[in-house]
Amino acid sequence: MNLDLSDDQRMLKDSVERLVSERYPFEKRAEHAAEPRGFSEAMWEEMAELGLTALPFGEQLGGLGLGGVEMMIVGEAVGRGLLLEPYLSSIVLAGTAIAQGAEDGEAAARLSAIMTGETVAALADHATITASVVDGGVRLDGAATMVLGGDQAALFVLPAGNSGWMVSADAPGLRVRGYRLHGGGGAADLTLEGVRVGAEAHVAVQAMTRAIEAGIAFLAAEAAGATRAALDLTVGYLKTREQFGKPIGSNQALQHRAAELLVEVEQASSAAIYAALLAEEYDPAERARGTAAVKAVIGKVGRFVAQQTVQLHGGIGVSEEHIISHYFRRLTAIGMLLGGTDAQLKRLADLGGFTRPRAHLDLA
């Protein structure tokens, strides 16, 4: 299997990395977080202008029709730059769910607004919502917690029973309590009392599943980018921080710890590549096993890298002013989003384990 990037993919990688490095230095991140929406409006508009918000959607839907590898490239850049913009929540999660049935009608219109960045959407993965048929549509009652990006969302995709539903943030009967997250970005808790939606707002349960799988793949790419950046910072610190007249990196014990970090970072990169390739897997059971394994790996790796890099920086590593503390927070959050490590290991065991008697990625 050839894992080298194509010329087009290398061009995408160069352009995204240049955008992040030039427009999103760490010194500006606090300013972006303090903006009214909790992220940079200018950066979000630029991402839309470059087509990044339309990247994963089919050409028949108005998107660019690119695949898992291209999304991995974007995710790695997002992780390295610690971007606050709602790419994961709006494009990857909510957008993927809506796109599964967006050939025409309400879904197509909603997706078009999401792709241009005009509408910020959010998908709930923790919800207890019931759907009951009423005259002229469906009634939704219940609650959803920790809806990523929900504090700024104009549209929600909510699971109810064996289906999902698109619900506008201003729908009668929907209450949204938004809040900022400690590591940046925001979320919301939702309460639904008699919210009415029409049949055209329906989202298939398979679409919800594919959205979560896409979200896990993107988180794996984010983790790969963030762990690599944290390692680079730490190695640089070990080479320049002097104690007793010599760099602390000359200490063999610290060199061994840096080597351990490199092994774990390579694991994160491998998990991200595997998750990107899973986008081409046609068997739902194999995708489920693969994404559970990927999420368990990045949760473990992210925790290890976050803790070790902060410890190797010493006291400065826990300060608000140092970027390594922000990588610590993001990697910790990645480990918990869309199912933590323990939950994913249990899920993988329930699915029969990761090792199978035959190869399941039949790619040229």
pLDDT(243) > 70 = yes
- For the chain, the domain total comes to 3
Residue 364 within a domain: no
Residue 361 within a domain: no
* Boundary-marking domain end, from 115, 142, 173: 115
Supply the angle between the helices 252-278 and 284-313 in degrees, to the nearest 10.
Answer: 160
> Does 177 lie in the same domain as 91?
no
> Does 71 lie in the same domain as 130?
no
DSSP 143-182: EEEEEETTTS-SEEEEEETTEEEEEETT-TTEEEEEEE-T
Write out pLDDT tens, residues 223-236: 999 999 999 999 99
pLDDT(364) > 60 = no
Angle at CA of residue 217, ends 216 and 221, nearest 5°: 115
Dihedral sign, Cα of residue 243, residue 246, residue 249, residue 252: negative
Residue 64 within a domain: yes
- Could you tell me the pTM of the whole model? 0.94
pLDDT(306) > 80 = yes
Q: How far apart are CA 154 and CA 170, in angstroms?
A: 8
* Boundary-marking domain end, from 204, 220, 237: 204
> Does 191 lie in the same domain as 217?
no
> Does 217 lie in the same domain as 167?
no
Q: What is the average pLDDT score of the chain? A: 92
Q: How far apart are CA 92 and CA 85, in angstroms?
A: 12
CATH number of the structural domain spanning residue 53:
1.10.540.10
Write out pLDDT tens, residues 268-296: 999 999 999 998 888 899 999 999 999 99
Using CB atoms within 10 A of its CB, is residue 44 exposed (0-12), middle (13-18) or buried (19+)? buried
Residue 285 within a domain: yes
Residue 1 within a domain: no
Q: How far apart are CA 16 and CA 289, in angstroms?
A: 30
Q: What is the mean pLDDT of residues 258-263?
A: 96
CB atoms within 10 A of CB 64: 17
> Does 199 lie in the same domain as 211?
no
Using CB atoms within 10 A of its CB, is residue 160 exposed (0-12), middle (13-18) or buried (19+)? buried
* Boundary-marking domain end, from 78, 97, 115: 115
Q: How many helices (H) and strands (E) does the chain have?
A: 11, 10
Q: What is the mean pLDDT of residues 120-134?
A: 93
> Does 341 lie in the same domain as 213?
yes
Question: Do 223 and 301 form a contact (C-beta atoms < 8 A)?
Answer: yes
Q: How far apart are CA 296 and CA 88, in angstroms?
A: 19
Q: How far apart are CA 341 and CA 348, in angstroms?
A: 10
pLDDT at res. 360: 52
pLDDT at res. 323: 95
> Does 155 lie in the same domain as 62?
no
Q: 184 is written with which tokens?
A: 């940046």
Write out pLDDT tens, residues 4-24: 889 999 999 999 999 999 999
CATH number of the structural domain spanning residue 250:
1.20.140.10
> Does 129 lie in the same domain as 158?
yes
Tell me how far CA of residue 286 lies from CA of 42, 111, 351, in angstroms. Answer: 40, 28, 9
Closest to 341 measured CA to CA, from 214, 216, 215 = 216
pLDDT at res. 56: 94
> Does 184 lie in the same domain as 211?
no
> Does 127 lie in the same domain as 75?
no
Residue 59 within a domain: yes
Q: Which domain holds residue 234?
A: 206-350
> Does 38 lie in the same domain as 23?
yes
Write out pLDDT tens, residues 19-73: 999 999 999 998 999 999 999 999 999 999 999 999 999 999 999 999 999 999 9
Percent of the chain at pLDDT > 70 equals 96
